[in-house]
Amino acid sequence: MTDETLSVRSLTGVEMALPIAGPGTRSYGFLTDWMIRLLGALIWLLIASLLRLAPGIEGRPAAHTVMVVGIVLALITYFLYQPAAEILTKGRTPGLRTAEARIVTLEGMTPGIGALVIRNVFRLIDCLPVFYVVGLVTCMLTPRRVRLGDIVAGTVMVRTDAGAGPSLDRLGAQARRTRLPVEALALAHDLLERWSTLEEAQRMRLARSLLKKLDPGLAAHDVGLDGPALRARLEGLLDGEQRF
């Protein structure tokens, strides 16, 4: 673990500090994913072996073909699992979820497909000479605890709390319930997520500013609402109860 953080500015303009994942967290997440892809490869080999011994196939040329196909599928699963998992989960593979970590850009955003592909291509160097020695040494020496692939791709691994995943899932569900523009939805969601960490005057100012932006004709008495009422208005927007 490491006490170092990545400072980013949230959508509401509030400075946030994301805890950077150290070599221990990275290794735990990687080993979990490695066991998953190894298990997947072994399952293909087991299926091919059982089919090869099936009545009517055993001893025939088809048995050899079945085994070759099984080996090819096992290799594809083993070598392509990591990049595919990172792209499909947007930087939060099953292993990283278990380790409570995720891959983000230096701005704290979800990395694009190009960045994820690049960081995986550089695994060929990071894994040298054996057991990811180059990658681990680089993680221990760099300020953001990144390996070569992260340096080139402009990514970093940060730790997340248990609610980070569900929070993003809720944002996706809210987007389907309301007609708010995506940017406005993200702003409202971001503000509510950090409501308790902001000073009262700051969160009320941000809430009023956001509500006025969503509805230029907002009544004067609505602008004067207190903190709980302003929060209720924002929650109503996200739940689709109010349409601007």
Cβ–Cβ under 8 Å, residues 18 and 104: yes
Those residues with Cβ within 8 angstroms of residue 144's Cβ, 6 or more apart along the chain or in another chain: 4, 6, 20, 150, 156
What is the tens place of the pLDDT at every residue in 133-151?
999 999 999 989 999 999 9
Alpha-carbon distance of 2 to 54, in angstroms, equals 53
Tell me the two tokens of residue 137.
Answer: 């040494």
Alpha-carbon distance of 209 to 18, in angstroms, equals 26
- Using alpha carbons, list the distances in angstroms from residue 185 to 13, 177, 199: 15, 11, 22
Cβ–Cβ under 8 Å, residues 174 and 237: no
Give the β-pairing of 15-19 and 101-105.
Answer: unpaired
Q: What is the pLDDT of residue 52?
A: 87
Cβ–Cβ under 8 Å, residues 183 and 144: no
Q: What is the pLDDT of residue 166?
A: 44
pLDDT less than 50: residues of the chain: 1-2, 162-168, 219-221, 243-244
112: phi then psi, degrees, rounded to nearest 5: -80, 175
